[in-house]
Amino acid sequence: MNVKLVIGNQNYSTWSLRPWLLLKAFNVHFEEVKVSLAEEGLRERLLEHSPTAKVPVLIERDLHIWDSLAICEYVNDVHLEGKGWPHTAKDRAKARAVTCEMHSGFVAVRGAMPMNIRAKRKVNITPAVAQDIARIEAIWADHHRSGWLFESFSIADCFFAPVAFRFQTYGVELNEAASQYQHKLLAHPAMALWVEAALAEDGILPVDEAGEPV
Ligand SMILES: N[C@@H](CCC(=O)N[C@@H](CS)C(=O)NCC(=O)O)C(=O)O
């Protein structure tokens, strides 16, 4: 197989989920290489694949791409003939804006609510976390009539997929329209495959075990 994707623990690694989901959703064949983030010598093991010692990394022949959004853009260009983004320039601009909002923002939610698929937990909702949740709820509630954020499943949906798991783990309640979108994401067949693999793992990352079990 030409395309290889190096990912972290599927229970925890949000950045890995995004390009993995894009490749699966569009049936791009790839070899998956999983590196445990919970074992000794992590930096050295990650440096074998990536100059940043982070996952995900996409490898195709002599090319190594070490950032989730850069990977999705490459997959869109080279393997999807542009189908990873909506087809109008206006929707592509909006899709990129919400994707970049996720890629570089929502720091409070990302810090307080690590993805932890196997858990059901409760965390303190600070005003900053509540503000992030409200913004995500507004983006989700404004979804397209297709049920996805835009006319069909896109990179923007991949970027919000980990949040669907986070909100499930921490019992975040959403308005009707946003909740419909969350369920649409959770029901994607590739998301079910990801959960199955996450539940089969036993590595624990203490830093991502936030809050109290419920
Ligand atoms: N901006 C990067 C972030 C990648 C990242 O932070 N990955 C985490 C796992 S989700 C990681 O590799 N952590 C290992 C470490 O920091 O030692 C991306 O979008 O791919």
**In-domain check, residue 102:** yes
Do 127 and 174 fall into the same domain? yes
Structure tokens given for 133: 């949740």
pLDDT of the residue at 125: 97
Q: How confident is the model at residue 129 (pLDDT cuts 50, 70, 90)?
A: very high
Do 69 and 137 fall into the same domain? no
From the alpha carbon of 66, which atom of ligand 1 is closest? 20
**Residue-by-residue DSSP string for 163-174:** HHHHHHHTT---
Task: Convert the pLDDT of each residue in 13-61 to its tens digit.
Answer: 999 999 999 999 999 999 999 999 999 999 999 999 999 999 999 999 9
Do 100 and 72 fall into the same domain? no
**In-domain check, residue 59:** yes
Determine if ligand 1 sits within 6 Å of the CB of residue 54. yes
Mean pLDDT computed over every residue of the chain = 97
Distance CA 15, CA 22 (A): 12
**In-domain check, residue 209:** no
Structure tokens given for 101: 């909002």
The alpha carbon of 46 and the centre of ligand 1 are apart by a number of angstroms equal to: 10
CATH number of the domain that 127 lies in? 1.20.1050.10
**In-domain check, residue 210:** no
Determine if ligand 1 sits within 6 Å of the CB of residue 68. yes
Q: Domain range for residue 30?
A: 3-83
Do 41 and 95 fall into the same domain? no
Q: How many domains does the chain have?
A: 2
Statement: residue 206 has pLDDT above 90: yes
Do 148 and 56 fall into the same domain? no
Q: What is the pTM of this model?
A: 0.98
Q: To 5 degrees, how large is the angle CA 135–CA 139–CA 141?
A: 110
Statement: residue 12 has pLDDT above 80: yes
Task: Convert the pLDDT of each residue in 87-99 to its tens digit.
Answer: 999 999 999 999 9
Determine if ligand 1 sits within 6 Å of the CB of residue 42. yes
From the alpha carbon of 12, which atom of ligand 1 is closest? 10
Q: Which amino acid is at 69?
A: L
What are the Cα distances from residue 139, in Å, to 113, 127, 150?
A: 18, 19, 11
**In-domain check, residue 214:** no
Mean predicted confidence (pLDDT) in 155-166: 98
Do 158 and 141 fall into the same domain? yes
Q: How confident is the model at residue 66 (pLDDT cuts 50, 70, 90)?
A: very high
**In-domain check, residue 203:** no
Determine if ligand 1 sits within 6 Å of the CB of residue 76. no
Among 52, 83, 114, identify where a domain stops. 83
Please name the residue that has the structure tokens 């804006």.
97
From the alpha carbon of 42, which atom of ligand 1 is closest? 17
Do 145 and 61 fall into the same domain? no
Helix H or strand E segment including 131: helix 127-141
pLDDT of the residue at 29: 98
**In-domain check, residue 212:** no
